[in-house]
Amino acid sequence: MSYLPMMGRGFRSVAGGRMTRTLLWSIVLVSLFGSGMALAQTSREGQRLGLRQESAAFLGHAGTVRPLDALLPLDLAASGIHAGGGPLNGPQQVDSVLLRAACGSVTFDPKGRPLAVCEDGEGSTLHLFDPNSLRSLASLPLPAGGNTSDLQLDAAGRVVLAAGDRQVWTVRQVQVVTIGQQRTSGSVEFEPVATCDLSAVLPADASVVSAVPAADGLVWFAASSGDVGTVRQDGCAARTLRLGSQGGGGEHVSQPVAVDPGEDAAFVVSDHALYRLGMDDAGQPRIAWRQAYERGARRKPGKAGMGSGAAPVLIGPRLVAIADNADPFEHLLVFERSGAPVCAVRLFASLPMRSAVQGKLAGFAWEDGSGASVIVSNQPAYRGLARVDIDLARGACRPAWTSDQLSVPSGAVRLALGNGLIYAYGRPGGAGAADAWYLTALDFRTGAVVFHRRAGTGAGYADNRAGVALAPDGTAFIGTARGLVRIEDRLHQ
């Protein structure tokens, strides 16, 4: 895969193991990006990496650190929660690398390095990026088809992902040491340790939409056909069941699975109902409970189909939440993990437009045990972001605030518990605004916008339904339609 250097303060290339400034005369300019991009020639020095440092506009003011007293979720990434902080100050560094590929959601390996799957016209590739230069340190081509955008790490730090239409892969990193006459160098390579083909247990027209590792080498998966089950990383033994009401069927799944490893349970939302799944003594998946919801009568703009557009989010040790597909206004539905309903509340009712939730909810439980909070993003066609508070003593949900100041195409936000800010990537002016893309920070307590930081202008900076990922050090990474963006405080550097 070729890298496309981006116009900016100059080009930097990797030469002899160090970064050098280079004038590139043999450049082919193309206008795929709003601000233009350049295609570098390869040479004996190796493939040149293009890195743009965007002199981005900053609107607003520096944030203040106001930590939230929250219980850490078992799965931070799936809960939309970051334990630390994020970009905070006015002086920020915005870097981006332009690839010939659209990059999905970013996660981080045990060393804090970004991992993402990037897809071009020929297929998908798993990348490990250098967090500073954004150079690809390792890559692995993946089978064509299917949903490979969401990456998970198992207890051993290995990548677990859906690959191709009906495969679940487990991939580890291997350190490679090269001993030469002049020097010894090291590199990283990906090595698949399990490539489990589920074609024998899934319909021919099905594709795996989610694969999430659990305990003891087990992976829960869900397929578009409504088939869900488990597969073992060692040996690829798979067991499945078909979701559907009694005597019925015909349910489909388009959202990621949520796994509670402490209870050996998985939660799946179909286009008809929310399920809790477990296993019997023989290891066969079974349905613990099913809660139907209002699935609506039509597919709303921006949604993949009828039914819920929100993956289940596990909140604290007790709760699980989804959004339904009621019309004109959808509801946040909160349940005990035992299946008992807790509360429901209408979403975005104060806004003049309808609601259509498509993406990931962000939720956490308060440390004092009094309740929980959930952040919900509306579809760009309708706009809006809302915070809903859950009062466990009263069994009630209420909107704390609703904002119409942001359009979030991915439908996913990231809440940093360490500083009390919500991070989203989108266009503050909405879908009809100029083609400039911003990282926006909002105050969790009030919903007020703290700042907008421009990442770049042009179709290449468009959100790729990836959302914002925050590294352990608080640096923000966003997968875009043509590459990867990084935003960090200069003082943090």
Q: Which of 35, 52, 69 is the last residue of a domain?
A: 52
pLDDT surpasses 60 at 17: no
Specify the range with the lowest mean pLDDT, choosing from 33-37, 216-220, 320-324: 33-37
What whole-number distance in Å separates Cα of residue 363 and Cα of residue 305? 24
The secondary structure of 110-179 as a DSSP string is: TTS-EEEEEEETTEEEEEEE-TTT--EEEEEEE-SSS-----EE-TTS-EEEEETTTEEEEEEEEEEEEE
CATH assignment at residue 184: 2.130.10.10
Q: Token pair for residue 270?
A: 């179909």
What whole-number distance in Å separates Cα of residue 219 and Cα of residue 211? 6
Neighbours of 181 (CB within 10 A): 4
Give, as one character, the DSSP assignment of residue 270: -
Q: Are the C-beta atoms of 423 and 440 separated by less than 8 Å?
A: yes
pLDDT tens per residue, range 356-372: 788 889 999 999 999 99
- 155 and 268, same structural domain? yes
Q: Which of 52, 68, 92 is the last residue of a domain?
A: 52
pLDDT tens per residue, range 73-99: 878 888 999 999 999 987 889 999 988
- Across the chain, which distance is largest between two alpha carbons, in Å? 72
Burial of 186 (0-12, 13-18, 19+ CB in 10 A): exposed
- 122 and 237, same structural domain? yes
**Residue 146: per-residue pLDDT:** 65
- 114 and 25, same structural domain? no
**Residue 434: per-residue pLDDT:** 67
What whole-number distance in Å separates Cα of residue 93 and Cα of residue 340? 47
Q: Which of 28, 52, 76 is the last residue of a domain?
A: 52
CA-based radius of gyration for the chain: 22
**Residue 433: per-residue pLDDT:** 56
Q: Token pair for residue 337?
A: 């993990």
- 113 and 21, same structural domain? no
- 82 and 30, same structural domain? no
What whole-number distance in Å separates Cα of residue 464 and Cα of residue 448? 25
**Residue 102: per-residue pLDDT:** 92
What whole-number distance in Å separates Cα of residue 450 and Cα of residue 61? 6
CA geometry: angle at 272 spanning 271 and 274, to 5°? Answer: 95
pLDDT surpasses 70 at 270: yes
Instruction: State which H helix or E strand residue 53 sits in.
Output: strand 52-53
- 112 and 102, same structural domain? yes
**Residue 175: per-residue pLDDT:** 84
Instruction: Give the mean model confidence (pLDDT) for residues 242-264.
Output: 83
pLDDT tens per residue, range 449-471: 999 999 998 889 998 888 999 99
**Residue 86: per-residue pLDDT:** 96
**Residue 290: per-residue pLDDT:** 96
Of residues 232, 202, 234, 220, the one with CA closest to residue 275: 220
pLDDT tens per residue, range 385-413: 999 999 999 999 999 999 888 878 888 89
The secondary structure of 326-377 as a DSSP string is: -SSS-EEEEEETTS-EEEEEESSTTSSS-----EE-EEEEETTSSEEEEEEE
pLDDT tens per residue, range 409-425: 888 899 999 999 999 99
pLDDT tens per residue, range 299-308: 777 677 788 9
pLDDT surpasses 80 at 489: yes
- 182 and 325, same structural domain? yes
Distance, CA of 164 to chain centre: 19
Of residues 312, 318, 321, 315, the one with CA closest to residue 347: 321
Q: How many residues does the chain have?
A: 493
- 27 and 82, same structural domain? no
- 166 and 26, same structural domain? no
Q: Which of 239-248, 273-282, 298-307 has the highest mean pLDDT?
A: 273-282
Q: Residues near 340 by Cβ (< 8 Å), separated by ≥ 6?
A: none
Of residues 214, 200, 330, the one with CA closest to residue 264: 214
Q: Are the C-beta atoms of 197 and 166 separated by less than 8 Å?
A: yes
Amino acid (1-letter code) at residue 22 = T
Of residues 353, 400, 342, 352, the one with CA closest to residue 376: 400
- Tokens 């150079």 correspond to what residue? 135
Which has the higher per-residue pLDDT, 234 or 34?
A: 234
**Residue 43: per-residue pLDDT:** 24
- 139 and 40, same structural domain? no
- 25 and 132, same structural domain? no
pLDDT tens per residue, range 158-189: 999 999 889 999 999 998 866 656 665 568 99
- Which region, left, alpha or beta, applies to residue 394 given φ > 0 means left and ψ of -120 to 50 means alpha? alpha
What whole-number distance in Å separates Cα of residue 221 and Cα of residue 259? 10
- 23 and 145, same structural domain? no
Q: How many domains does the chain have?
A: 2
Q: Which domain holds residue 38?
A: 1-52
φ/ψ (deg, to 5) at 24 = -105, 110
